[in-house]
Chain A
Amino acid sequence: MATDKHEHLETVLETHRMTHVQNLVDKFKEKRNEVKQALANHYGSDIYYPFDSGSFKKHTAINTKFDLDVVVPFKKDSFDTLDKMFDSLNDFLDDEYGEIATIRKQKVSIGIIFDEDDDGDVINLDIVPGRELNKDQYSADNKLNLFVYSKYGLFSSSTYIQTNIQAQIDHIKAKENERKIIRLLKIWNNNDGKEYKSFLLELFTIKAFDKEDISGNIWEKLEKVMEYIKDNATKDGFKLIDPGNSNNDLMDTLESWGKTNLSNRMETIIERINSNSDNIKSYFPTNKDFEDDDKSSSSVGYGIKTGGTAYSTPPKNERFG
């Protein structure tokens, strides 16, 4: 039986929506706000107020994988070196949450992984420290220097990158069509070994919409974006400029074989789906956990069990927490 590609992709997106995990998202947000407040209290006038970033903030999150990041903009004079800033944040978070969470240094952030709660949920947040590039200019230019932590060996010494996280967030603002395609490509990527950075797929998609006429139904749009990636990934001089730093070309994060590989993958996916529409299910799977939601919501109104009367009495003993 042939699969309606458009309909299938709508279901894929629907079953990956964040609202299915609203309860969990609320927990993340609550913890995030708590941590932001603790940082503001501790660092006082050494920082600008922490702000939210990550896929959740960008509205490109999918419920099988999402990040709630917090960026802490330190003032220029707060620390004389970026590694001191990074260590200070790590030490503070360790003092504050070390007993109820695992704190670890990551590439440009400190990770907080809270211990499993009573519901079995694990909340994790990435706290990204950045120091303003130009003294007292952060509010105007949003430019930050991030410390790049490296735990490997003596020779790959730690360094820093300049970025503008606000500009990265703004780059994807109000682009609902692009976001849908980005979510689909992330679903494919996560399902397929997560070989590519989400940020790379994000920039590819936005550029495709920018350069080509990406229209039609959702499958047609996805296909056109994949064609664009296929055609351009290996093209000489093709760049994907980081909106947070014009010197940063995301294509440089791929080796030449990686570029060829990406181009070939796109070609294969398009071919296989066009030769048999059922193949779309293996590249873009639904989230089975939430597949039945649609059916149950098609019934509207308050339900009464079969038999007629709504008259009910509560069961004898119940516990609430």
Chain B
Amino acid sequence: MSDEARILLADDHALVRRGVRLILDASPGLRVVAEASDGAEAVALTRASDIDLVIMDVAMPRMTGLQAAREITSHDAHPYILMLSMFDNEQYFFEALKAGASGYVLKSVVDHDLVTACRAAVRGESFLYPGVESALVRSYLERIARGEAIPTSVLTAREDEVVKLIAEGHSSKEIARALVISVKTVERHRANVLEKLGMRDRTELTRYAIRAGLVEP
């Protein structure tokens, strides 16, 4: 199976690695081919073997996940990177994006988000965790309110409603209940909205975050 994504797993906790590995290996199209227990080892392994995706803990000894990500993406033709973290600060998320990562998965929803995030990453898309998405949309709305940003494309009335609810921090399930539509439809609106706001693609997102002052360049 040559179209399987080859994954390197880096986390200093062997049990976490084992848990993640079992889940990924059980998912079609994803296969863990190497493991590292710190940032430096992850960098070395990425160079030595053919890896499509690196999943890395943000906090690791010897070299943190962020440092390792910077190191890995400083080379051409580098693999995609997904950060795994306990912390939901937007600052970590944007720092991860700046370091070249495609996504950021919170450990408290790792069981739920990990496989989705891996699939998004190997497709070349970014993965936003729910909290950061609402923060982004909120800052976008604030910019519009201050007259700084002009909406790049007009949203439909439904999408407008969804945007407001996302900005207030509601989950897809809550939004679905509030608007009496299915969760699937909410997800579709959400994807469209992010696409229209230019937040689907990682470079766009980083550029936006820097413009909005969410990270320093």
Do A and B come together as binding partners? no
